[in-house]
Amino acid sequence: MTAGAPLRHNSAAATTKRHHGKRPRVTDRTMQRIFSGIQPTGNLHLGNYLGAIRNWVRLQDEYECLFCVVDMHAVTTWQEPRELVANIREVTAGLLAAGLDPERNIIFNQSQVRGHAQLAWIFSCVARMGWLNRMTQFKEKAGKHRENASVGLFAYPTLMAADILLYKATHVPVGEDQKQHLELTRDIAQKFNNDFGVEFFPLVEPLIFGAATRVMSLRDGTNKMSKSDPSDYSRINMTDDADTIVVKIRKAKTDPAPLPESPAGLEDRPEAANLLGLYGALSETSLEETCQRFAGASFSDFKNEFAELSVSVLGPIQDEMRRLSADPGHVDAVLRQGAGRARDLAAPILAEIEEIVGYLRP
Ligand code: TYM
């Protein structure tokens, strides 16, 4: 593809690997590097945990992984500076409490590694306006106030491509909502390679696996569970205490029918499908088994068990988060050490990129 040529979003160019088992299978273990990121824009919720963080914990046993708290992405929308600092620490504490090991993985915050911004600029010059115009997440976030959205929010996917390709990562574990951004990352990599006549960047593979790739709101089973939903009752935050979790689950939207005996009975029942799916993901049982277990039950009986399960899974993580929150010095040290390792990994790659582009480094 040459500069200005239209983007092809064909399925062959953007294959999504789906993995329903506990552990993802990445075929060739050599030359695999995993990168993923999470925004420090508010509370971590069950969607972040089941759609991303829990999967990251599993991947760390087998792959070289970088996990990034993407503070530069966060500031594409207004963040109160003091809250941003607190959120970076809290999200990092959440990652550690969920079981990510800062020795085996590189855990850091994006703004500490300047290469992300430097490569993002180059990618802003590779990506086309038309490509970014098609990004559904920008449309959703900018809403009716498009003209008032920050330039950073529009260019967001070029920074995301830079995050991944600064380390030549090959696999990116994410929830469904990030799929389109990863397709764009592949297109940017391909266009860079073609424009400069090099075989430099790998074409990244999204890793979308597990049972909860798209966790929905507790108030509306057709809307994604999200940090930006104004209603706190729409999500279970990783920091919610047991009583809050019980109340939120009790208030979760349902429908009048009893629970079905198989997944087929969940058609056109988005709230029931979401709640049973969440139960299955948390208990690590299939949707079939979960349906069989609650076949014919009322929502109120199911909700009692669901709340108990949620508290038992999140409780130990919360205890550890509280312990880490009392020790911000430790969290900061983890990020500092991670950023140092990330910079070392990125430096030779960025030097090569800049040479390919033709920057003069006398
Ligand atoms: P963010 O911070 O919105 O979400 C972090 C991760 O959580 C997943 N996730 C969900 N999964 C299932 N159901 C949900 N309701 C749900 N909500 C969130 C997201 O898919 C994601 O995996 N742009 C990214 C951050 C990012 C990034 C990157 C990711 C920046 N650079 C490079 C991968 C690689 C974002 O806003 O994620």
Reported confidence tier of residue 31, pLDDT bands at 50, 70, 90 = low
Looking at the CA of residue 224, tell me the nearest atom of ligand 1: 15
pLDDT in tens, 36-72: 999 999 889 999 999 999 999 999 998 999 999 999 9
The answer to whether residue 253 is catalytic is: no
Residue 30: predicted pLDDT: 53
251 is annotated as an active-site residue: no
**Residue 145 pLDDT:** 87
Pick the catalytic residue from 141, 144, 179, 248: 141
- Which listed residue (17, 179, 227, 253) is catalytic? 227
- Kindly tell me the burial class for residue 313, based on how many C-beta atoms sit within 10 Å of its own C-beta (0-12, 13-18, 19 or more): middle
Over residues 265-291, the mean pLDDT reads 96
Q: Binning pLDDT at 50, 70 and 90, where does residue 362 land?
A: confident
Q: Which residues line ligand 1 (CB under 6 A)?
A: 35-39, 47-48, 51-52, 70, 73, 160, 163-164, 172, 174-175, 177-178, 181, 212-215, 224-225
| pLDDT, mean of residues 247-274 | 96
Threshold 0.75, pTM exceeds: yes
Query: Is 149 in contact with 110 (CB distance < 8 Å)?
Result: no
Distance 90 CA to ligand 1 centre (A): 16
pLDDT surpassing 60 at residue 5: no
pLDDT confidence tier of residue 228, bands split at 50, 70 and 90: confident
Ligand 1 atom at shortest distance from the alpha carbon of 174: 22
pLDDT at residue number 3:
34
Express each pLDDT in 214-224 by its tens digit. 999 999 999 99
